Amino acid sequence: MGYKILMVDDHPLQIDGYKTILQYNDKNIEIETTSCFNCEEAYKIITNTTNPIGFDLVFLDRSLPPFPEKKIKSGEDLALLVKQYMPNSKIIMLTSHAEAFIIYDIVHKVRPDGLLIKSDADGDILLEAFNAILDGEIYYTETVKESIKELLSREDYLDSINRQIISLLSRGLKNKTIATELGLSDSAVEKRKSKIKDFFFISKGSDEELILEARKLGFI
């Protein structure tokens, strides 16, 4: 049985390119693809509970012809439907927009398993993302990482004290020790950690996840 992928993009040649590239994956996995070219087609497949297809992976372009009847305006809206109807499916979002706030919205709203800027996503990057996601990793292209890092660096979420907290956590220090080190109360440290986690899109995550995100984005 092959690895089932739903590809949604309004450019058929783009989908053909993805299919060809993924045939060369390092794990020699046979790819079975279903293609959609607008939100309406994708909506009908994703929400089909009569004869559902168990997709392992869903590729979604962010900018797609909308489906006004169901208030589906973009790939982001489709991604939320995938999470609802196909919770076991991995999601890769692709976008031509590299603006920091657009990227932030995608990550914060969708939390995709992969986020690729199309200008970054050559054959090697696409295969790298595919293989990483198969291994259970989250994959962001370099432009995504830099855009998020740029946005975070401008916010008070990562003021000098919060940056110190991240650094101390990465050294294995606990809240009580961090509080003593920075002259804060235990509750103040916990509140700041919650704020940091929220902005790293891991509001319910552990300290280990916080450190992982901070390291991935180059803060430690």
Alpha helices, H only, the chain: 12-22, 39-46, 75-85, 100-110, 123-134, 142-153, 160-170, 175-182, 186-199, 207-216
Res 220: pLDDT: 73
Q: What are phi and psi of 37, to 5 degrees?
A: -120, 5
Question: Between the ranges 85-99, 139-153, 158-172, where is the mean pLDDT highest?
Answer: 85-99
- What average pLDDT does range 79-83 have in this prediction? 96
pLDDT class of 180 with cuts at 50, 70, 90 = very high
pLDDT class of 152 with cuts at 50, 70, 90 = low
Question: Using one digit for the tens of pLDDT, what is the confidence trace for 30-39?
Answer: 999 999 999 9
pLDDT class of 153 with cuts at 50, 70, 90 = low
| 16 against 214, higher pLDDT | 16
Q: What are phi and psi of 15, to 5 degrees?
A: -65, -45
Res 146: pLDDT: 82
The torsion defined by the Cα of 216, 159, 147 and 195, in degrees rounded to 10, comes to 70
Reduce the DSSP state of residue 3 to 3 states and report it: strand
Q: Indicate the DSSP class of residue 57.
A: E
Taken in order of first residue, the domains within the chain and their CATH numbers are 3-144 (3.40.50.2300), 155-216 (1.10.10)
CA dihedral over 170, 176, 179, 185, signed as positive or negative: positive
Q: 78 and 42 in contact (C-beta within 8 Å)? A: yes
pTM of the model: 0.70
Bin 28: left if φ > 0, else alpha if -120 < ψ < 50, else beta. Answer: left
Distance CA 204, CA 210 (A): 10
